[in-house]
Amino acid sequence: MSAALDLGFAGTPDFAVPILRALHESPHHVAAVFTQPDRPAGRRRRLTPSPTRRFAEAHGLPVHTPERIGAELPRIRTLDVLVVAAYGLILPAAVLDAPARGCLNVHASLLPRWRGAAPVERAIMAGDTTTGVSIMRIDTGLDTGPVLARRATPIGADETGAALTERLADLGAREMLDCLARLDELEPTPQDPAGATQAPKLTARDAVIDWTRPAADIALQVRALSGRRSAFATLDGERIGILAGRATEATECTPGRLERTAAGFAVGCGAGALLLETVQLARGKGRPVSAQAAANGFPELFATGVQLDVS
C-alpha cells in the first residue's frame, strides 16, 4: 500500500465534490485545491463560486482560482499527485509533468468510450445500458491517457443524467482512493483507439426536441438532460421544458401534434409518441409540474390538436 500522499485537487462542478470530500477524509493530505474562477450564474448573472470552491472553503482547504493553472506550477511541483475531476480547463504539458507521480483523472465513462466533456449525457442519449468510471493518467490528448482502473455499473431504465452523474461521482471517489492506495503496484493500460467514441460538450441545440425523431430517442434525450439543461419544445416560440416522459406506440401520429389519450397527454413523433409526465412552463411560477397540472392551468397549451413547433 502506498504511503500517505501530498495531493492537489482540480475540479469545478458538483461531480467533483464527492471526490474531493473522499480525499479530504482519507489519510492523504490535500495541500491545494484548484477550481475555475467565480462565474456569472442565475437570472441576475451574479458572480458565483463553484461547488468545489464552496466545499474547500467550508472545510478549511487552501483553494486557488487561477485563470490559467499554469500560473500555479511552483505550487504543483510540491505535490505527489494532482487529482483531476471535471476541472473544465486544459492542463498544459508543464502541469502534467509537475507532480512527482503525475496527474490522475476521474472520468465518468468506461474509456475509451465517451471521451470528452459530456460522457454521462451522451451515454444515455445513445441508449447505453452500462457505463462506469475510469481512473486515467492524464496525457496531452483529450481523455486519451492510459487507464489504471475501470469500474462498470448498469444504467437504470429510468435513471436521469443528473442522478447517474451523482452516482458515478461516488463510484469515482472510491476508485480513486483505491488507486492511490495501490499506486506502487498498478500498471497503466493504454487505451484502444479503435473503441473510442466522442462525448462533446452539450450545447443549447442538444436540448431542442425534434419531433420528427422516434419517440424512443426523444425519451432518451429527455432522461439525459433532466435536472440539467432540460430538453424543451416550443409552441409559437414559447418554451416548454420536458423534464420527464416516456415513449409509447402509436399507429398514426403527426410529429409535434398534442393528443389527449387514456394514459395522458402525448405528442406525436417520427415513430410512436412521447407521453408527457413532467413539464416546466415559461409562464406562471415556472416550476416543474405534471402535464395534467399544466393543462389545468393553461388549457390553451395543452389541448388535443395543439401543434408544437417542429425543428
Domain count, the chain: 2
**CATH code of the domain in which 286 resides:** 3.10.25.10
212 in the same domain as 191:
no
64 in the same domain as 132:
yes
- At which of 195, 215, 240 does a domain end? 195
| Dihedrals phi, psi of 295, to nearest 5 degrees | -65, -35
Domain of 43, in residue numbers: 6-195
Residue 194 burial class via C-beta count within 10 angstroms: exposed 0-12, middle 13-18, buried 19 and up: exposed
Q: What single letter denotes the amino acid at residue 159?
A: E
175 in the same domain as 59:
yes
| 252 contacts: CB under 8 Å, gap ≥ 6 | none
Q: For the chain of 311 residues, list the mean pLDDT of each consecutive stretch of 10.
A: 88 97 98 94 84 98 96 97 96 97 98 97 98 97 96 97 98 98 95 96 95 97 92 93 93 88 93 96 85 90 90 70
pLDDT of residue 284: 73
> Which among 161, 106, 114, 112 is positioned nearest to 134, based on CA atoms?
106
Q: Which cell is 6 given?
A: 501530498
281 in the same domain as 209:
yes
Report how far residue 211's alpha carbon sits from residue 216's, in angstroms, rounded to the nearest whole number: 11
* Per-residue model confidence as pLDDT tens digits over 272-309: 999 999 999 988 778 999 999 998 998 888 888 999 99
Q: Which cell is 201 given?
A: 460538450
212 in the same domain as 96:
no
pLDDT of residue 139: 95
21 within some domain = yes
Upstream peptide bond of 18 is cis (omega within 30 degrees of 0): no
pLDDT of residue 20: 98
| Dihedrals phi, psi of 2, to nearest 5 degrees | -70, 150
- At which of 195, 216, 232 does a domain end? 195
Q: Which cell is 53 given?
A: 470552491
> Which among 138, 166, 137, 136 is positioned nearest to 153, based on CA atoms?
166
pLDDT of residue 286: 81
**CATH code of the domain in which 135 resides:** 3.40.50.170
Q: Where are the alpha helices (DSSP H) in 105-160?
A: 119-125
SS3 247: strand
Report how far residue 184's alpha carbon sits from residue 264's, in angstroms, rounded to the nearest whole number: 58
> Which among 111, 132, 120, 114 is positioned nearest to 223, based on CA atoms?
120
126 in the same domain as 96:
yes
Number of other CB atoms surrounding residue 263 within 10 Å: 10
284 within some domain = yes
pLDDT of residue 252: 76
pLDDT of residue 44: 75
